[in-house]
Structure 1
Amino acid sequence: MPSTPSTANLLRDLRRREGRSLRSAAADIGVAPSQLSRLERGQRGMGPEISDKLASYYGVPADVISIARGEVPADVVEIILSNPEAITELRRRYGPASSASGE
C-alpha cells in the first residue's frame, strides 16, 4: 500500500533538514535509493521495521512517523477516549489558528 502524502512529505523534509542526498541517506538507512525515493514520493508503503529505521536515522520519535502514516498509538487512543475534551484543547493550543494568534 502506498504511503500517505503527509508521510512522503515528512520523510523528504526530514532528509532535507539533515542536508543529506537521497543516495547517502538510503545507504545509511540500509535501503536502496529507489526504495527511499518511492517512500518520499508516496509510491510505496512501509512496515514497522523501515519506519523504525527511518525514525532512528532522522532522530525523531517512532510515533511521529507512525502518526504521519495514519497510525495512532494505542495509548494515545486510550487517552483521547478517556478525555475527549483533550482534542479541543490540543487544537486550541497547537493548531494553525493558535500560531496565527500568537499563542
Structure 2
Amino acid sequence: MAKGESAASLLRELRRRQGHTLRSAASELGVAPSQLSRMERGERPVGEAATQRLSDYYRVPAEVINLATGRVPADIVAILLAHPEELANLRKKFGP
C-alpha cells in the first residue's frame, strides 16, 4: 500500500468507525467536504497543520497519522541512526 493510500485508508476508517459522515466531519474540522474527500482518497496530502486537527477530532495520537503519511518522528529516526542494528531486530520481530 502506498503512503497516500495508507493515510487515506486510515482517515476514512477513523471517520467511519466513529460514525461521522463526510460532510459532518468536514464541517467540524473546518474544511470543505471535497478537501476531506480528497484526503480520504489519497488525492490530497495530509499536511502537518491538518494532522493535529485530525488527531484531535478522531482522538488518536498525531504520530499515528504522521506514520501513515510516511513522516517518522525525529526522535525515532535519531534512535535508529544511533542503533542501526535495531532495524534488523524490528524487521525480524514485526516484519512480514
With the shorter chain as reference, the TM-score category is 0.7 to 0.9
TM-score, scaled to structure 1: 0.81
Question: Within 1, Cα distance between the matches of 2:52 and 2:11?
Answer: 12
Distance (Å, rounded) in 2 between the aligned partners of 1:15 and 1:95: 28
Question: 5+ residue gaps in structure 2?
Answer: none
Q: CA deviation at 1:86?
A: 2.2
Instruction: Tell me which amino acid in the other structure corresponds to 2:85.
Output: E
Matches within 5 A, 1:24-63: 24-63=24-63
Q: Structure 1, residues 50-101: CA drift from partner, whole Å, max 9, x if none?
A: 11100111111111111111111111100111112322333333345xxxxx
Aligned residues: 94
Q: Which whole-Å CA distance do the structure 1 matches of 2:95 and 2:59 have between them?
A: 24
TM-score, structure 2 normalization: 0.86
In 2: Cα distance, 1:25 partner to 1:58 partner? 9
Please identify, of 35-44 and 59-68, the stretch whose mean Cα deviation from structure 2 is larger. 59-68
Query: What SS is found at the alignment partner of 1:4?
Result: helix
Q: Give the whole-Å Cα distance in 2 for the aligned partners of 1:82 and 1:94.
A: 20
What residue ranges of structure 1 are gaps of 5+ in the alignment?
97-103
1:62 is matched by which residue type in structure 2? A
Task: Using the aligned pairs only, state the percent identity.
Answer: 55
Residue of structure 1 equivalent to 2:79: 79
